[in-house]
Homo-oligomer: A and B are copies of this chain.
Amino acid sequence: MTDALSAQSSIYLPKGFSFSAVAAGIKASGRPDLALIEAAKGTSAAAVFTKNRLVAAPVEVGRESLAASRGRVRAVLVNAGNANCATGLAGIKACRQVCQETAKILGVTAAEVFPSSTGIIGVPLPSEKIVANLPALLGSRQPTKQKFLQLSDAILTTDTRRKIASVKFKAGKNEVSILGVAKGSGMIHPQLATMLVYIMTDVAAKPSELKSMLRDACDESFNCISVDGDTSTNDTVLLLASGQSGARVKDSSVKNKFRVALSEVAKSLADQVIRDGEGVQHVIRLHIEEAKSRGEALQIARTISHSLLVKTAFAGADPNWGRILAAVGRSGIALDPSKINILIGDQTVCRNGSSCPFDEVKAHAELARPECKITVRLRRGRNSIVFTTTDLTAEYVRINADYST
């Protein structure tokens, strides 16, 4: 393994990117809330967005801009404190305006400025505050770790810590760096939402190449985590490639290394998001094994992950395999429950869909660990996935039930 999991200490800055952050007065706390990534000329981009039908204005504008620029991005403008979602046509206009103003100062086209917002839903975006602070934001950009860390902090909302992952690898005489930053507290605060992820690299790649590699990386990371099953309206994962390392993904040896490294960064960021969930006591690695297809395994993993009965059992470290089996049974897959084995840690607790003797103290101890492993073996095919989820604690309910409007 590389440095992805100890990323706070190792930051490999890819060539071709500058960063900055300022306090524009959008967050009530007065902390930095407006951030910029500037990308060198020729930077390729690909993005994946939330599948929620209700999408925030920046998601709509960002998607259009990427299409209009044919996958070229010169700047990413992120604000925290306001999601610019459910804000109607005025929200779209406000988003376009801040992109245009940024583009004007940078001397690029508006479609090359990619917007992101995170924060409260249904409140007009204070675009005047953003516009007023653009000169200071753009004037202070630098290609340094310090500025990158400022950006990493400015995009946070209810997160308790910054989320960074970085990897580098040799490609012949070149060295390629990947640097990712994420925002998302897993469990979502009242009216605040969103996971935002930006991954930058200096490998050279076409937007179409980036797109397919980004999709694969997301499938194994952000699409395999779930805290509460609610899909945000603003979720965005953006991959930017400046090409300045000299290495190109059209060389197959570079491509293979890049795929592995990108996946590692994405998995590390996904893990950091889930660990920062409010009220989370236990992270659960659900191994769904021997499914007929990956889609089937995913559907079962999601049903288990979203079951209130399963999640509360996890909170109590209760080896209640009956709830897991019942969740599998209602997942919508026409399977035979009498073939299923369930393991907690390395111990079988349910064999052929029925109870079997097991050491309950040991199973409880496994579930009481900060991270534990549960295996559901379907015995009907050859597809397996690992899905990461969390318990549901009374603390989560308290946080999310506060009357806050």
Residues 310-353 of chain A, each 1 if its beta carbon lies under 8 Å from chain B, else 0: 00110111111111011111110111111000000000001011
For A321, the chain B residues whose CB sits under 8 A away are 122
Does B233 contact A326, Cβ atoms closer than 8 Å? Answer: yes
Chain A 82-94, CB within 8 Å of chain B: the 1/0 string? 0001111001000
Whether A132 is near chain B, meaning CB under 8 Å from some CB there, is no
With both beta carbons as reference points, the residue of chain B lying nearest to A230 in the complex is identified as B309
Contact of A245 with B by CB under 8 A: no
Q: How many copies does the complex hold?
A: 2
CB of A212 within 8 Å of the partner chain: no
Instruction: Verify if A405 is at the interface (C-beta below 8 Å from B).
Output: yes
Bound CA span A206–B330, Å: 31
Decide if A88 touches B354 in the complex (CB within 8 Å): yes
Q: Are the C-beta atoms of B394 and A315 separated by less than 8 Å? A: no
Are the C-beta atoms of B190 and A87 separated by less than 8 Å? no
Say how far A116's CB is from chain B's closest CB, in angstroms. 17
Whether B193 lies near A230 (C-beta < 8 A) is: no
| A12 at interface, CB cutoff 8 A | no
Q: Which residues of B contact A396 (CB under 8 A)?
A: 308, 312, 397
Closest to A368 in B: B403
Q: Is the CB of A53 within 8 A of B318?
A: no
Bitwise interface map of A from 54 to 66 toward B, beta carbon under 8 Å scored 1, else 0:
1100000000000
Contact B86 A354 (CB under 8 A): yes
Interface residue from B53, B87, B88, B308 paired with A392 (Cβ < 8 Å): B308
Choose from B230, B312, B336, B398 the contact partner of A307 (Cβ within 8 Å): B230
What distance in Å separates the Cβ of A268 from its nearest Cβ neighbour in chain B?
A: 26
Closest Cβ of chain B to A312, distance in Å, is 4
Which of B52, B88, B228 is in CB contact (< 8 Å) with A338? B88
Q: Which residue of B is nearest A340, CB measured?
A: B54
Return the chain B residue nearest A307 by Cβ. B230
Binding site for B on A (CB under 8 A): 51-55, 85-88, 91, 121-123, 188, 190-191, 193, 228-233, 306-309, 312-313, 315-323, 325-331, 333-338, 350, 352-355, 360, 364, 391-394, 396-398, 400-405
